[in-house]
Amino acid sequence: MNDDQLLRYSRHILVDEIGIEAQQRFLDAHAIIIGAGGLGAPAAMYLAAAGGGKLTLVDADTVDLTNLQRQIVHMTSSVGKAKVESARSTLNALNPDVSIEAANVRADTKWLDENVPQASVVLDCSDNFATRHAINAACVAHGVPLVSGAALRFDGQISTFDLRQADSPCYACVFPPDQEFEEVACSTMGVFAPTVGIIGAMQAAEALRVIGGFGETLAGRLIMLDSLRMEWNTMRIARQPDCPVCGART
């Protein structure tokens, strides 16, 4: 780290559990953030501020006026622009040290298989089960930790799936791909803006703990938030031997 970086990240370096060593790991890391919306916006901003060396933002959508109620990485002037380009502009202004790659594509199986192996951690900030399962499958196949978040109305949830740990479940252990879920979206159900901010910030914190190797991640735990009552619940989750995605791994 140069002198400017030592000053910029000094409040991290002063924390005993982080110090220069973990901060350097942040600077050397590559995080893929899939979804530049309500969850991806705060997650990307905190990772950029913290000095996450390279961030790859993946989203094929454009900024809509209705996004601005919660997607804090975008500005009014960004309406109509690609979300990843809008986010890259904001993040570059926040911290020019960080390398921002903008992938204006959908995270399909081919893209994931080509790019996930290069990542230190993947943050699933998407909004549909098909994409979530594709991301999980790629992370399991390539042994890359996954931080998964979701939010709707006043409800949020977050967990970390880290198959580097022998007993860690994957996303499919908790939400089987063959199980039917009712697909609902913010466009029809709405979402309380701070809820996505809370969950997105937690995703950034999880990613930094994974990268830095300090503290205890949420592997094996699913945390659920009711922001209408500001109540938290934790559910222990276990790896399923018959999971169609990770069950065959040793």
Give the active site residues. Answer: 186
Tokens 């202004």: give the residue. 93
What does the CA dihedral 159, 37, 197, 185 come to, rounded to 10 degrees? Answer: -70
How many whole angstroms separate alpha carbon 149 and alpha carbon 152? Answer: 11
Closest C-alpha to 202, from 165, 153, 159, 238: 159
Q: Which residue has the tokens 């098909």?
A: 130
143: left (phi over 0), alpha (psi -120 to 50) or beta: left
- Beta-sheet strands, E only, within 95-220: 99-103, 121-124, 146-152, 155-161
Distances (CA, A) of 106 to 84, 109, 172, 191: 11, 9, 21, 23
**Residue found under tokens 């580097």:** 164
* CA distances (Å), origin 242, targets 41, 79, 127, 147, 239: 35, 46, 26, 22, 9
